[in-house]
Structure 1
Amino acid sequence: MAKKTGKAFDIKLFRRLIGYTDPYKITFYFVGVAAILLSVFAVLRPNFLQKAIDMAIIPKDRELLVYYITIILGVLLLEVLFQLLFIYFANWLGQVVVRDIRVRLFDHMLRFKKQYYDTSSVGRLVTRAVSDIETIASIFSEGLFVIISDLLKMLVIIGFMLSKSWKLTLLVFVVLPLVLYATRVFQKKMKAAFEEVRTQVSNLNSFVQERISGMKIVQLFVREKTEYRRFKEINDKHKKAWIKTVWYNSIFFPIAEMASSITIGLIVWFGGLKAAYGEELTLGVVVAFIELSQMLFRPLRQIADKFNTLQMGMVAAERVFGVLDTNAVIEDSGTGVLKTVKGDIEFSNVRFSYVANEEVLKGISFDVKAGETVAIVGATGAGKSTIINLLNRFYEIDSGVISIDQVDIKTLELKKIRKYIGVVLQDVFLFADTVMNNITLDNPDITKEQVYKAAKEIGIHAFIESLPGGYDYNVKERGAMLSSGQRQLISFLRAYVANPSILILDEATSSVDSYSEQLIQEATDKITKGRTSIVIAHRLATIKNADTIIVMDQGEIVEQGNHSELLRLEKGYYRNLYEVQFATSEL
């Protein structure tokens, strides 16, 4: 994880960010050259203005005045042209850099362990991937290059002022330290303020995302007033964080403006007297110094303002790099590939903990032969779904071995393992897309004809065709336009068309209506035939015909056998479950 340095400006973090411009060096250097030229153009206008006053206006030389006006106009046009190019390419560079960072961030997030998402706020991750990265773009478009351009302008202006009058330059320097000190203090305060702003933005995003996702629960339990009150509190903290930045701005900019006005007054007083008595200075030099002093203090004010932008971008970059530096990916160093998968599965003394020293699986061992259907039953929290997660390598086991066809899954490519396994979960997730795309997940190897055929085979083609638009029906976010049973059927077809060697049904019929359950049960009987299948279910009627039933309790296997064998066990765990569920119906 990236560490907060507490510095007003983190040069190491800045270098890392600039490294993303390497593929666009030509544009980067062009923007730098444009910044240099803009600093030169900045002093050319006051220089020619001074000459126009001293050599044309005072002597009343009209032709020379027209000449200088033409030059000033030409310089102004060049300045406008390069300002346009500077702004465009600085913004372009910012956008391509954040595009690259966002792609890298999303790719990194795709590889995170499931455990990372178990403990991370979705709202915060969305903030990192969207608004924080967009803030980074402002480093290039409004921060970095503008600051460089302004600093160059200031250096050129100071050099030019010294060449014209070192006395007037000293007058300007009398006030300059005050502005520099105020700017430095301002930078440090704004750094802390913007860190607080980004924290409150993340909190606000996270809160809103969770409440919108869980709005049904909020309304069912009449929590509207409570959540409204909590939102007001979080929103108020967000406001206070921003008000702090406004407060610092309201202090700094009047100080900078006052310093600028004092400088002009000193130039007019000292320079005006010298010019009036014809001593050393001319009226043109005094007028040029007034404009130059404004040009000197304006960048100072802008640098402070743009430093705000730079600071916000750096804070955002620190947070984004914090996610990029998070080492929460499943190690995928396996190179083994199974050309054909029979479907033998073996768990050998597997131990696993979500939290250190709190084992969820306590050294379990079992075999599943190719083509068998194995059911796993047990109370909530017994470790049933954990077995499925470990088989798919969503988590790393603490010890033991999990193998497919006698090959340790750690030695296999991660994507290959998951390609072999089809999963239907209890909590079905559908994307805001068509039924067809939710089934194929844009897999080019799965054709529409294959989907139609598979849907007919398992008996749900008619159901899908009955939807408005059929397979082109948009199910909206999380499949909101479908019932839970309909979502489960689509999820079932999604697993089936992938033609997995191993099929896993995790509570696949626990939350569906009787009609959907019947369809799924019929489809299950069809597709599990000759295919290794693991079924996790609370409803024991769905697993009577399983080859083997594994009974779990508190992370351990307490019973194992087929339905008839387990029923013969006196005071057996499975028998007790069965009697509770079916005793009434059998009377």
Structure 2
Amino acid sequence: MKQTGKRLFLYAAKFKRTLLLALLFLSFAVATELAGPFIAKQMIDTHILGIEKPWYETQSATKTSKAVAFEQTFYKRSDNFEEGEPKGKEVRILQVGSQFVWLNQALPWDGVRTLTDDSKLRVTQGNEQAEYAVQKLGVQELYSFYQPQFADLMSLAGFYVILIFIGAGFTYGQKYLLQTAANRIIQRMRTDVFAQIQRLPINYFDNQPAGKIVSRITNDTESIRDLYVQVLANFFTGTVYIVGIIVAIFILDYRLALFTLPIIPLLLAWILVYRKYASTINHEIRERISAINGMINEAIQGMAIIRAFRRQKETAAEFEQLNDAYTRYQNKLLSLNSLTSHNLMNVVRNLFFFGLIWYVGGSALNAVITVGVLYAFVDYLNRMFHPMVGIVNQLPNLERALVSADRVFELLDEKGTDVVAAKTARYKGNVSFEHVRFAYKEGEDVLKDISFQAGQGQTVALVGHTGSGKSSILNLLFRFYEVSEGRITIDGRDIRDLSRQQLRQHMGIVLQDPFLFTGTIASNVSLDDPSITRERVEAALRDVGAAEMLGALPRGLDEPVIEKGSTLSAGQRQLISFARALAFDPAILILDEATASIDTETEAVIQAALDVLKKGRTTFIIAHRLSTIRSADLILVLDHGEIVERGNHEELMALHGRYYQMYQLQAGHREIAAAGEAEVPSGL
């Protein structure tokens, strides 16, 4: 997991300028917001409760001096005197309950205040008591003493409003920058993952369901996006807030700050405990959702078979089983989240508030901490728990993102080959297999000591029973797989000395089951290669005899093709695939049972085109219909990975061996089929 975190950090580092600017904006936003309690403290201690500070008689009675007239005498609060300004008699204004009284003298010491009657104030501190003659202040009289503070109060309030707007601007900026960076990070990651798919060997896709691979590119990368947008945003914001609040609390009162420090290790322990249990559950959840995606993809691909064999209920039951397993693990995670949710954090916060009341009320701090300081501290403590709740609430997303990142990086770490853009000159097409052995699984050879030569312009046909190794030979020629022993050369050069892209640059292939991409007929022939012009596409289609057939469609060569070309017939799809190979003018042309899935009439069209097109090209044909390879220059008969017979059609027929038997068998089937058709009454 540490390695995963490091790699996620390296992806983020590619956009460090944007992220650092977002962090700077966040710091400014936090600073403006945390100024609020300090301003409130100033309002309370200086401008509201400051009325209880000592007042002195003064001779300065201007409007700007903040002097207050009371009973024909002017008084100023002690903190409003300028340095060196003379002070007269000291008086006090004291609050007793909800009332304010005038004490026409200094107050030597303070304690619990009570009014014994309308004109007597008793102050009690421990065993000591003192009584003073006082005068109750009316609303208008009290207002006159507060009036000099109104301008400062409004200034502070206006300053706070300005800070709110400034903070809102910085908050918008940091969120925009953070999400922009996150989107660019995920864009880069998806590009890397898709590029990695192009680098992976073919056998990787043989062993991995398509749905699981798609899930890693879409679902898993989207979970990682949540990591950068939501999780890191909350963690960054929360960390900056918590650090800022701790600094502010230390500025207020270091003793109260020390009381709050245990919150930090508590949060860290909380995160560690949660991750310990959530990681395992999230791994299972991601595996289950990948399995569900794989099955959905398989069910869609095989919907015709499912319905034809009435497997709807069985397929639904299999899906329900996967869905139940996924739901079971989701409920486990839900239980864990409920147990460690923000409600528990609220309990911890209330316990800290209780401890604060006990700590302040039962210690000497009760006498030295002002109401403004206590208000600001409680406000800061309450604000500290908000980002902590945000961090705790993001822990499920954090674990889900880290598990998804593990799966994405696992794909990126698969061994692949770099895509090389270098070009190579068109080779002549002399192909040689020299003592080639190959096994898909170690110790289970599917090709055994294969050796043959195919000269430029020759046609080589591969025949044999299913599993004899025909397709494996062509897979090795295309370097979809690497030989276990021996070597394959083209024009005398070992194909392993060329990159796969260079090797395949002058090779074309037509498969038994052609694959068409979403687009048009023309785009499926050219594959949007700018070097393949429209004229070249049309020429390729004419050469394979498909121009007239496909030109009759409503939009001709611009007829839309949906996924896999399901709206076209098997013959039309095969002709498009054949034209695609020819449009790239390959030096080596491979037909992997290319005529097996089309009708006899279309096969005849392709056969007629082949006689012209194979000139100057080395052509390899895998065919079950032996009648289509009679003109091949070399026919290789394979059995269990070995070449048991080789030669042209006449030579092999003269041997009366395996090829002869296969040909006679197919010829017999054709005669029986022809006789059956002749016996059908013409009226039927």
Confirm or deny a common fold (TM above 0.5).
yes
Correspondence for 2:348 among 256, 259, 278: 259
1:154-211 Cα distance to aligned partner (Å, 9 max, x none) = 1221222233234444554566665553343223222333222222221211111111
C-alpha change, 1:440 and 1:536, in structure 2 (3 Å) is same
Q: Contact between 1:53 and 1:283, CA under 8 Å: does it hold in 2?
A: yes
- Indicate if the aligned counterparts of 2:235 and 2:391 stay in contact, CA closer than 8 A: yes
Aligned to 1:581: 666
Q: Distance in 2 between matches of 1:173 and 1:525?
A: 87
Structure 1 position 87 matched with structure 2 position 175? yes
Q: Structure 2 CA distance, aligned partners of 1:139 and 1:531? A: 54
Residue aligning to 1:18: 9
- CA distance, structure 2, for counterparts of residue 334 and residue 39 of structure 1: 50
**Among residues 361, 376, 389, which one is paired with 2:462 in the alignment?**
376
Structure 1 segment 404-415 matched on structure 2, within 5 A:
404-415=490-501
Deviation digits for residues 84-120 of structure 1 (CA, Å, limit 9, x no counterpart)? 1111111111111111111112112101111111111
Match of 2:332 in 1: 244
Within 2, Cα distance between the matches of 1:511 and 1:298?
Answer: 66
Structure whose alpha-carbon radius of gyration is higher: 2
Q: Which amino acid aligns with 2:441?
A: V
Q: Quick check: which one's helix share is greater?
A: 1
**5+ long unaligned stretches in structure 1:** none
Cα distance change of structure 1 residues 207 and 50 upon mapping to structure 2, 3 Å threshold: same
TM-score by length of 1: 0.93
Q: Could you tell me which residue of structure 2 aligns to residue 346 of structure 1? A: 432
- When residues 163 and 377 of structure 1 are mapped into structure 2, their CA distance, relative to the original with a 3 A threshold, is same
The answer to whether the Cα contact below 8 Å between 1:94 and 1:136 also exists between their aligned partners in 2 is no
Which SS does the other structure have where 2:451 is aligned? Answer: strand
Alpha-carbon distance, 1:280 to partner: 1.4
- The separation in 1 between residues aligned to 2:646 and 2:436, in whole angstroms, is 17
Residue segments in structure 2 that go unaligned for 5+ positions in a row: 52-145, 673-684
Q: CA–CA distance in 2 between the matches of 1:171 and 1:453?
A: 85
* Letter of the structure 2 residue corresponding to residue 326 of structure 1: E
Partner of 1:500: 586
Using the TM superposition, name which of 254-263 and 470-479 deviates more.
Answer: 254-263
The separation in 2 between residues aligned to 1:256 and 1:186, in whole angstroms, is 13
Instruction: Name the residue aligned to 2:46.
Output: 55
TM-score with structure 2 length normalisation?
Answer: 0.80
Letter in 1 for 2:617: R
SS of equivalent residue, structure 2 residue 635:
strand
Contact 2:587 2:616 in 1 (8 A): no
Provide the residue aligned with 2:509 in structure 1. 423
Report the 3-state secondary structure (helix = DSSP H, G, I; strand = E; otherwise coil) of the residue aligned with 1:279. helix
Identify which of 27, 44, 49 aligns with 2:35. 44
User: 1:98 touches 1:133 (CA, 8 Å); kept in 2?
Assistant: yes
Kindly indicate whether the alpha-carbon contact (under 8 Å) linking 1:39 and 1:150 is maintained by their aligned counterparts in 2.
no
The 2-side partners of 1:272 and 1:104 are apart by 61
Contact 1:179-1:259 at 8 Å conserved across structures: no
| 1:12-40 alpha-carbon deviations (Å, 9 max, x no partner) | 32222222234423212112212322332
Q: Are the aligned partners of 1:31 and 1:145 in contact in 2 as well (CA < 8 Å)?
A: no
In the alignment of these two chains, the number of paired residues is: 574
Distance 1:106 1:122, change over 3 A: same
2:575 is the counterpart of 1:489: yes
Name whichever of 407-416 and 444-453 sits farther off: 407-416
Q: Given the alignment of the two structures, is residue 553 of structure 1 paired with residue 639 of structure 2, yes or no?
A: yes
Q: Distance in 1 between matches of 2:374 and 2:202?
A: 69
CA RMSD of aligned residues (A): 2.3
Q: Please name the residue that 2:542 is paired with.
A: 456
1:432-459 superposed Cα distances (whole Å, 9 cap, x missing partner): 1111111100110011011112222332
SS in structure 1 opposite 2:350?
Answer: helix
Q: 2:611 aligns with which of 490, 502, 525?
A: 525
Residue 65 of structure 1: how far off its partner (Å): 1.7
Indicate the larger mover: 359-368 or 287-296: 287-296
Name the CA distance, whole Å, in 2 between partners of 1:165 and 1:117: 64
Higher mean C-alpha deviation, range 518-527 or range 347-356 = 518-527
- Residue range with higher mean Cα deviation, 367-376 or 46-55: 46-55
Residue aligned with 1:545, SS: coil
**More off after superposition, 469-478 vs 513-522:** 513-522
Deviation at 1:281, TM superposition (A): 1.9
Q: Which has the higher contact order (CA 8 A, sep 6+)?
A: 1
Report SS of the residue matched to 2:549.
helix
Check conservation: 1:422, 1:500, Cα contact below 8 A: yes
CA change 1:534–1:318 in 2 (3 A) is: same
Equivalent position of 2:82 in the other structure = none
Secondary structure in 2 matching 1:546: coil
Q: Which is further off, 195-204 or 489-498?
A: 195-204
Q: In structure 1, how many angstroms separate the alpha carbons of the residues matched to 2:324 and 2:283?
A: 16
Q: Percent identity?
A: 34
Q: Could you say which structure has the higher strand fraction? A: 2
Measured in 1, the distance between the counterparts of 2:195 and 2:525 equals 23
Asked if the contact 1:39/1:156 (under 8 Å) is kept, the reply is yes
Give the drift of 1:334.
12
- From 318, 322, 326, give the equivalent of 2:410: 322
- The 5 Å alignment of 1:187-226 reads 187-226=275-314
Give the distance between the partners of 1:379 and 1:330, measured in 2 at CA. Answer: 33
State whether structure 2 residue 376 is matched by structure 1 residue 291. Answer: no
